[in-house]
Structure 1
Amino acid sequence: MNKSFELTPTRLRELRGFTVAARLLNFSQAAREAGCTPSVLSRRIAALEHALGSKLFLRTTRRMSLTARGEQLLAHCQQLETVLAELATELRPRSEEPSGRLCLHLPGAYGRQCIAPVLASFMRRHPQIRVEAVYDDAYVDLVAAKIDLVVRVGRLADTQLVARRVGTMRRYLCASPEYLAAAPVLADPADLKAHRCIAFSGLRTGTLWQFTQQRRRRSVRIDPVLSSNDSQAARDAALAGVGIALQGDYMADTLIASGRLVEVLPAWQLARSPIHLLWLPGADRAPALRRLIDYLIEKLATE
């Protein structure tokens, strides 16, 4: 190849003419497709052959074919056409309305009660976005499961994900009035040993319930009569009088206010649980995901 070979606008026009001629193997047809005369196309290809220092076509009175160098150049030109087409698509002015498909992994009960209504509102605003929502308290690998966004309640383990805190959940111990009326006295965390307790297995601390009161700390290992990976099932058991359950404020507040549940040991505080949005670094450059993240932050974020 000539050392002075450069991809100037003239050279790109020659390469485009060569690509059409190499595909059709007919200069008359190729010239029509390229928008020029056969003589102009011949001059362009001759100039390209001169710049490359080698013939690109073998021509006889009956047929035309590519040389080995021509075959090689055609493969490169086809790759270049693909790249240029992708670049044209990328640089095309984008519609202001985002579109695409998002896969979300949301905590079970909290997701259904607190995220699902926000998600529905978001989708009404952006009808071109499609969402697949998985409600599950289990931890998930975003790469392996092809998840775009996770909402996670609780302390985060060391992670390479981008995390944005959007709120805090307070947890209570609560039970039905009927259960408490027939149960032993409950004045101190240690008294829980004499009570029927309902455990939510999704907690990192499991059956170890940890309390604080000013500077005092107390931990109690409960022996649950019922353990469930669904906090809604634990709530329903507490409402039915099965025992004392640990509940998040999003479910317990209304039930306590209505008197259907009673907060127990109110002087002792359980650790609050942070709520985070998690996504892979760089994933939020996609307009649909960026719009959803911003919307969730606006609707969920608390001081």
Structure 2
Amino acid sequence: MLTPTRVRELRAFAASARLLNFSKAAREVGCTPSVLSRRIASLEAAVGARLFLRTTRRVALTARGEQLLVHCDRLDAVLGELAEELQPQQGGLQGRLRIHLPRNYGIQRIAALLARFMVAHPAVRIDATYDDAYADLVASRVDLAVRAGRLVDSQLVARRVGTMRRYLCATPAYLEHAPPLRDPADLKDHRCLAFSGLRTGTLWQFTRQRQRRSVRIDPVMQSNDSKAIRDAVLAGVGIGVQGDYMGDPLIVSGDLVEVLPDWQLSQSPIHLVWLPGADRVPAVRTLIDFLARELGGC
């Protein structure tokens, strides 16, 4: 094992090997010649071989000593690099961050924010994965994740940064020729498109003030991709669920109309999550604060 004592012995040996003068080597490493000699003797005992050939006039390295000096040079280089890494970073944030985000929400709401963050902090590198699958932050070595919906992992640190509202929508052309739609129960007479990523699946649950209503639909299409649902709704296939991050621009443009606006579907909290202690890294902490501010969290 490379203990602190062994490192001191190696440094005493390396200085002596380079200078071939024990008095000068002792001054370089900050000890007395007698302490230096004891350190070298201890190292020779550990190695099981003599490292120096000494006469009254001359000091030379043995073959084993020359081999060990090569390793000491490598050790000095590694320790020097480590010392630099342990210094406070100068000139702004640095490092590589691994981030996991829900696919469509991440692309629509966060991808542009990450680009802005990187422009402000050009020494930061980001590996972003857009995937709806659950990510184990430890196994995947993820620094920061964005999660929509109820959190189930109590081992993570979480910061709520917003809420995603879901609602039903359809094209004006579809609604013009479709059966009347005044109550959630009327959905049974309509062509519905189901997002299979919903926890309740094909059971659409609505609330209006204190009223609750559940409707089991028979979808003409199901998909685990909300963008595929959006595209089918835009094509006039039927009525589908959209998150506000994807549906709001289409409602404003008039391409889609919100259906049953008085009845509310479930909302999903949006959280930033990370492993305990990860936010002590300056780049991670700064990114958390930036995303929370931009997404409207506190």
Q: CA deviation at 1:16?
A: 3.1
Greater shift in the superposed pair: 187-196 or 40-49: 40-49
The Cα shift of 1:177 comes to 0.8
TM-score (norm 2): 0.80
The corresponding residue for 1:108 is 103
Please list, as runs of the form range in 1=range in 2, the aligned pairs for 1:121-270 lying within 5 A after superposition: 121-270=116-265
How many residue pairs end up in the alignment? 286
Q: 1:17 Cα deviation (Å)?
A: 2.0
Asked if structure 1 preserves the Cα contact closer than 8 Å seen for 2:26 and 2:32, the reply is no
- Alignment match, 1:17: 12
Q: Any conservation in 1 of the 2:26–2:33 contact (CA below 8 Å)?
A: no
Q: Kindly tell me: are residues 185 and 14 of structure 1, through their superposed partners in 2, closer, same or farther at Cα, counting changes over 3 Å?
A: closer
Name the amino acid aligned to 1:219: S
Give the stretch that moved more between structures: 172-181 or 86-95.
86-95
How far 1:36 moved relative to its partner?
5.0
Cα RMSD over matched residues? 3.8
Cα 1:12–1:101, aligned 2, differ >3 Å: closer, same or farther?
closer
1:28 and 2:20 are equivalent in the alignment: yes
SS in 2 for 1:164: strand
Alignment-mate amino acid for residue 271 of structure 2: H
Cα distance, 1:255–1:12 mapped onto 2, change above 3 Å: closer
Q: CA separation of 1:229/1:45 partners in 2, compared to 1, >3 Å: closer, same or farther?
A: same
Deviations 1:93-142 (A, max 9, x none): 32141111111111122111110111111010011111111111121111
Unaligned stretches of 5+ residues in structure 2: none
Counterpart CA distance in 1 for 2:8 and 2:152 is 56
| C-alpha displacement of 1:89 | 3.1
Task: Give the drift of 1:250.
Answer: 1.6
Q: 1:46 aligns with which of 25, 37, 40?
A: 37
